[in-house]
């Protein structure tokens, strides 16, 4: 379909990323997949390419471009090649918005140059064992010391993407008990240096999909976090989390659309090459109809994802619109990828084929960033229901 979201600069960036993937990622991806993690050194290559600094102001070493369109291209190109960049996506999509919105000038001077260079990789730690999407029910605590110089952090987090390689993690913890009329009150955000005593990385979780993305359990035992690493105001963390969820959910929606588009491409190429009963699989009417139906769904998902992208760049993407985009694109992607895998026959179930990895990678899209059931609740509430 005709698109208007990208200009010549974006397309030049696309060609750079495509060449980078061909030379630096695809030849090594199977090795990373088998190991269940990308090498830490790979993130320095992404930094050298300028990926981490696109949305960072020039005074801190970035390009000073305030747009998510380059992130969108990264989603499309990694999906197109059947690869991913490990846990680095959370560094930009989840970590950076909090720094830009909440950090003081002194904090930006400390954080952002290392963020751009890849010297410090960031992650976000919200979810806890037993709480899931109920963030207000978190048990981790950060108590201010008597002399007021640091917080004493205790607790545990799970499902933390980028948690193994992270050098600094935005940890959500209770700095005050909840109020009777507002259980969300009392949560604060701390930019925790992972080298601090008492901070530990537990298991690297063995996931169904996204196997090269380092997802971990974290534990905190009397970790002394300097007060200088408090992000934003104390006790307002839940409010800050809510502000950034629309951009996170847009990222999931766009990634899902990109995966669906890639699945159609993989299925088309495979069926044109595969011969059954002396004929190309692509020549059968059922194959044509299946691929045509999938393409129509991808076109619709692209339109939704692009519309959300434009709204996000203009600062107008609402929570309900982001939830709607995530719900629609992830559900469409699940259906399209499943149908495209079916067209691969038995080979679609073999991990060396990218469609198999897409199938498992895609499944989490309907879970993280808020389950799709939660998205329906948000949309219904916006409808006045």
* pLDDT tens per residue across span 170-217: 999 999 998 888 888 999 999 999 999 999 999 999 899 999 989 999
Q: Are 19 and 49 in contact (CB under 8 A)?
A: no
Give the pLDDT of the chain (385 residues) as one tens digit per residue.
678 999 999 999 999 999 999 999 999 999 999 999 999 999 999 999 999 999 999 999 999 999 999 999 999 999 999 999 998 889 999 999 999 999 999 999 999 999 999 999 999 999 998 776 677 788 999 999 999 999 999 999 999 999 999 999 999 999 999 888 888 899 999 999 999 999 999 999 989 999 998 999 999 999 999 999 999 999 999 999 988 899 999 999 999 999 999 999 999 999 999 998 899 999 999 999 999 999 999 999 999 999 999 999 999 999 999 999 999 999 999 999 999 999 999 999 999 899 999 999 999 999 998 899 999 999 999 999 9
For residue 67, which of 7, 17, 142 has the smallest C-alpha distance?
Answer: 7
A 10 A CB-CB count for 374 gives 16
Q: Are 167 and 116 in contact (CB under 8 A)?
A: no
Pick the catalytic residue from 248, 280, 290, 335.
Answer: 248
Q: Is 248 a catalytic residue?
A: yes
Q: Are 133 and 249 in contact (CB under 8 A)?
A: no
A 10 A CB-CB count for 195 gives 8
Q: Residue 211 in 3-state DSSP?
A: coil
Query: Distance (Å, rounded) from C-alpha 138 to C-alpha 307?
Result: 34
**Hey, what are 127's tokens?**
């979810």
What are 113-126's pLDDT values in tens digits? 999 999 999 999 99
List CB contacts of 310: < 8 A, sequence separation 6 or more.
5
| Cβ density class 105-131: b for 16+ within 10 Å, e for less | eebbebbbbbbbebebbbbbbbbbeeb
DSSP 56: S
């Amino acid at each position: 379909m005709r698109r208007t979201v990208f200009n010549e600069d974006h397309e030049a960036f696309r060609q750079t990323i495509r060449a980078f993937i061909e030379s630096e990622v695809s030849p090594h991806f199977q090795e990373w997949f088998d190991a269940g993690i990308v090498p830490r050194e790979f993130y320095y290559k992404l930094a050298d390419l300028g990926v981490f600094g696109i949305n960072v102001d020039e005074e801190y070493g970035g390009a000073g471009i305030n747009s998510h369109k380059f992130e969108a291209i990264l989603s499309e190109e990694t999906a197109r090649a059947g690869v991913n960049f490990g846990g680095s996506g959370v560094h930009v999509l989840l970590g950076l918005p909090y720094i830009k919105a909440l950090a003081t000038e002194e904090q930006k001077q400390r954080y952002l140059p290392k963020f751009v260079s890849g010297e410090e990789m960031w992650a976000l730690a919200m979810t806890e064992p037993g709480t899931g999407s109920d963030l207000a029910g978190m048990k981790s605590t950060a108590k201010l010391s008597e002399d007021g110089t640091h917080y004493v952090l205790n607790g545990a987090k799970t499902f933390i993407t980028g948690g193994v390689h992270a050098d600094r993690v935005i940890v959500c913890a209770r700095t005050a008990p909840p109020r009777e009329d507002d259980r969300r009150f009392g949560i604060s955000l701390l930019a925790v240096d992972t080298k601090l005593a008492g901070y530990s990385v537990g298991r690297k979780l063995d996931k169904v999909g996204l196997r090269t993305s380092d997802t971990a359990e974290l534990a905190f035992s009397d970790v002394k976090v300097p007060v200088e690493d408090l992000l934003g105001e104390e006790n307002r963390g839940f409010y800050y989390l809510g502000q950034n969820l629309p951009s996170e959910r847009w990222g999931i929606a766009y990634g899902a659309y990109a995966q669906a588009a890639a699945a159609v491409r993989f299925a088309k190429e495979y069926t044109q090459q595969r011969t059954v009963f002396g004929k190309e699989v692509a020549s059968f009417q059922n194959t044509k109809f299946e691929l045509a139906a999938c393409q129509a769904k991808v076109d619709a998902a692209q339109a939704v994802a692009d519309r959300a992208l434009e709204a996000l760049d203009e600062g107008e993407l609402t929570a309900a619109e982001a939830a709607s985009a995530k719900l629609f694109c992830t559900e469409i992607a699940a259906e399209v990828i499943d149908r495209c895998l079916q067209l691969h026959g038995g080979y679609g179930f073999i991990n060396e084929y990218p469609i198999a990895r897409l199938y498992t990678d895609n499944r989490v899209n309907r879970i993280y960033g808020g389950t799709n059931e939660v998205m329906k609740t948000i949309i219904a509430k916006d409808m006045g229901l």
